[in-house]
Structure 1
Amino acid sequence: MIMKKILMVLTSHQELVNTSSTTGLWIGEFTDPYYEFRDKNYTVVLASPKGGSPPIDPMSKLTENLTGSNRRFVNDDFAKDALKHTVELAEVSATDFDAVFYPGGHGPMFDLATNDASGRLIVDFLSQHKPVAAVCHGPAALLKATQLEPSILKGKRVTGFSNAEETLVMRSNNIPYTLEDKLKELGADYHKALIPFASHVESDGLLLTGQNPLSAGPTAKALIAMLESNQNR
């Protein structure tokens, strides 16, 4: 059996607006899906706009935000080395992978939302009938893709970090827009959990989106289920 190959696209951005606090990748939104894929023996390749080591949101390293996969990562030299040496996004091609996954953190709202290589990559994955998954602020990457191909979000059921969650983490004044509003503005059929920070995943065609950090593992599981089901057809 040929094993699947997953591309994970991470942010390279750490600055926020109106504050000296920094952001970047939310580490659990990387580690939870990463180990879901690794435990299926999938090959995982990590890429980012600038390549190299992505910035990590300091808040995601606080004890109360740590998950089992974070602890596993700390002792995994292979994974730590892969995260330190991400490939430059411009060097990867959808042709070489079975699916793409975008973790969040506030970083993607700045760089992946406007990155040409990322936007083209998403368009390419979908045109090759390959799934695109994104979690929390990762769906911000769909903004650039939609600029290139408006039908990507139009009328599609999606989710992403909600306005209520943005208010609760007190970052509303440190970001250029709210993701929920922007997705709706672009014609998406946006849905969210009744309770902030509860796990919530939406699936529409080849598009899989998760709302928040707790949705990262479930979104990866939904992607695996889609890939395995396609394989069995």
Structure 2
Amino acid sequence: MVLTSHEALLNTDSTTGLWIGEFTDPYYEFIDSNYTVVVASPKGGHPPIDPMSQLTKNITGSNRRFQDDDFAKHALKHTLLLEDMEASDFDAVFYPGGHGPMFDLATDENSGRLIVELLSQNKPVAAVCHGPAALLKAGQLEPSLLRGKKVTGFSNAEEKLALRASTIPYTLEDKLKEMGAEYHKAVVPFMSHVETDGLLITGQNPLSAGPTAKALIALLEKH
């Protein structure tokens, strides 16, 4: 799992980072299916957590499970350096969201290389909410990666409803379209929606985190 290391937003003192439920929901889907999870980030160490994701209204069952899981808390607090990760060592990669990935993972060379190499090795790549921002760098390195692919991610409508539209450098939905992707979304904002196109799996929003992980597991089991 590759997490953001970025916490600053534009035009505000509020901070962002990892949306914690988009880490914990998939993490336990993988653990409960007997996968070993390695957690990495561009800067290593403890990634910033979006304070909004820790509000009571946004807490999920997996968040509560995480609070009693010393092993998982240690993994999150001590993420490995992304630059040390090699595609050949893993079966798949998963990118959780939070607005952070729009700033660092969207332009991170190591992240882009990892995605391109995994796909070239016939291994799946999954991302949820703002996590698909990592596909932007991969799409620059390999222009055919997104062209004509069915994808989803945090929508323009959701961005407006989340009141963060003025604090980000671009909207993910528009960027994915600019890269040639065929963007899809749920009829109603913030409802779960997952797109699978070959080895590429994307989820739209926080509610899609668990289902995106399940889709990745299904693809891994199929392979």
* Shorter-chain TM-score above 0.5: yes
CA distance in 1, matches of 2:222, 2:108: 31
- 1:219 alignment partner, SS class: helix
Q: 1:206 aligns with which of 166, 179, 199?
A: 199
CA distance in 1, matches of 2:145, 2:198: 10
CA distance in 2, matches of 1:152, 1:21: 34
1:41 is displaced (CA, Å) by: 1.1
Q: Equivalent residues in 2 for 1:190-201 (5 A)?
A: 190-201=183-194
Corresponding residue number in structure 2 for 1:121: 114
CA distance in 1, matches of 2:41, 2:119: 19
CA distance in 1, matches of 2:154, 2:92: 22
Q: 2:210 aligns with which of 217, 222, 226?
A: 217
CA distance in 2, matches of 1:151, 1:71: 40
CA distance in 2, matches of 1:223, 1:162: 21
Runs of 4+ that moved beyond 3 A: none
- The one-letter amino acid of 1:26's match is W
1:11-37 per-position Cα deviation (integer Å, ceiling 9, x unaligned): 000000000000000000000000000
1:115 is displaced (CA, Å) by: 0.3
Q: Which runs of 5+ in 1 are unaligned?
A: 1-7
Corresponding residue number in structure 2 for 1:188: 181
- The one-letter amino acid of 1:29's match is E
CA distance in 1, matches of 2:48, 2:145: 28
1:59 is displaced (CA, Å) by: 0.1
Corresponding residue number in structure 2 for 1:51: 44
CA distance in 2, matches of 1:82, 1:107: 19
Corresponding residue number in structure 1 for 2:19: 26
1:91-133 per-position Cα deviation (integer Å, ceiling 9, x unaligned): 0101000000000000000000000000000000000000000
- The one-letter amino acid of 1:86's match is T
- 2:159 alignment partner, SS class: helix
Corresponding residue number in structure 1 for 2:128: 135
- 2:8 alignment partner, SS class: coil
- The one-letter amino acid of 2:218's match is A
CA distance in 2, matches of 1:117, 1:127: 15
Corresponding residue number in structure 1 for 2:72: 79
CA distance in 1, matches of 2:107, 2:142: 14
- The one-letter amino acid of 1:112's match is L
Corresponding residue number in structure 2 for 1:36: 29
- 1:15 alignment partner, SS class: coil
Q: Does 1:67 align with 2:44?
A: no
